[in-house]
Structure 1
Amino acid sequence: MNQKIKRSIKFSLTIAVITFVLAAIFSSLSSSLLNNVSWIIGLIIVLLIVLIGIIFDMLGIASTAAKEAPLHAMAAEKVTGAKEAVNIYKNADKFASFCNDVIGDISGIISGSALTIVILDITKILQGTTDPTPQLFLSVFLTSLIAALTVGGKALGKYFAIHSSTEIILLAGKIIFFIQDKLKIRVLPKSNKR
């Protein structure tokens, strides 16, 4: 079997396992958080989950839209995070897959299940009413609102990702530099210097 195909299969299996683990962790965290807060705080948590999905979707697209030359120029000038930005560019397929498919999709799924918990909390409050119309309206309205914010936010994020990809990837590089340098947590594979 071709070496590239083997690496692709290995990466796909790895990303599937990572997705499973992260989805379990985030789902458990969001459920436990939402069970102990009011519906207003729960709705804010849902909006934060949506925002995380939008940001990571933008990062994934920016990594594939970035241009290599400006990143190398900044790395040559020793701009903080530029070396990491070059590494993101060189691993754009994996970086985009992680950002878009793992974090972005998990955020979408978890925001939906978290919203269900919020709607159930609101339904308990409205349970005294005999008319089911307000509950149905609220459920439809909140679901539609979160869907609109997710899709609209990702569309806006895509615009910025395509038109400001260098700046976005440099910012991501700076954040990764901080995590790797100060917190000593390896985020990206070491770059291969020739």
Structure 2
Amino acid sequence: MRSKKLNINYKWTINAFIFSFVLAVIMNFSSDILLKKSNIIIAFFVLLVIVFTGILFDIIGIAVATGTEEPFHSMASNKVFGAKQSIKLIRNADIVTNFCNDIIGDICGIVSGAALTSIITKLSLSGARSTVYATIFGGILSAVTIGGKALGKNFGMHKSQSIIFAVGIFLAWIEKYTGVDFFPSNSKRNKK
């Protein structure tokens, strides 16, 4: 039995490594500055924003992984704004899911843990009380993150076309006003 040749995108792998490092540094630095200069309520709000950002990108990644490009072909031929970008998202599903689920999702998970530690330090607790609060808040943070991603995955799979189209419109706006094309048109990649 012949094995299939493994097709590894080394360029994206290197770019993902560099991009994740830069993004992690920026997110860690920004959240650290925000948390140090804010009161406890704002610190919890920052933590929630980080968690929900991870959940949102997880939804997008799942939607792109499970979506199909056929509904967007007629829209693209009728020049519907965002349809072309929606097709590009699906044709680059491996990169999009890696970026959304792994890079953004994992960074948000790590940064949220660091943010929680900063919040517990802000509460000025020590000894056994600090351990109890860290354990309880850590459990709540894990439950919200995992539960949110579980709900998000279900939503992403069942509403994939709508989610992909919404992201396609967003990317089309970015392309229109900045000229940045996230997926060049000469890419002939097809979704497996």
TM-score, normalized by length of structure 2? 0.89
Consecutive unaligned residues of structure 1, counting only runs of 5 or more, are none
CA distance in 2, matches of 1:133, 1:58: 38
- Which of 180, 183, 189 is equivalent to 2:183? 189
Specify the alignment match of 2:164 in structure 1.
169
CA distance in 1, matches of 2:174, 2:153: 25
Is it true that 1:59 corresponds to 2:54 in the alignment?
no
Specify the alignment match of 2:83 in structure 1.
82
- Which of 139, 147, 152 is equivalent to 1:157? 152
Per-residue CA deviations over 1:77-118 (Å, capped at 9, x if unaligned) read 222111100010111111111111111110111010111101
CA distance in 2, matches of 1:179, 1:64: 22
TM-score, normalized by length of structure 1? 0.88
- 1:133 Cα deviation after fit: 4.6
What letter is aligned with 1:99?
C
Change in Cα spacing, 1:193 to 1:14, as seen in structure 2 (3 Å) is closer
Is it true that 1:147 corresponds to 2:142 in the alignment?
yes
Specify the alignment match of 2:174 in structure 1.
179
Specify the alignment match of 1:21 in structure 2.
22
**1:131-142 residue pairs with structure 2 within 5 A?**
132-142=127-137
Change in Cα spacing, 1:192 to 1:4, as seen in structure 2 (3 Å) is farther
- 1:67 Cα deviation after fit: 1.2
How many residue pairs get aligned? The number is: 184
What letter is aligned with 2:159?
S
CA distance in 2, matches of 1:144, 1:15: 30
- 1:149 Cα deviation after fit: 0.7
What letter is aligned with 1:159?
N
CA contact (8 A) 2:47 2:115 kept: yes
Specify the alignment match of 2:105 in structure 1.
104
Specify the alignment match of 1:72 in structure 2.
73
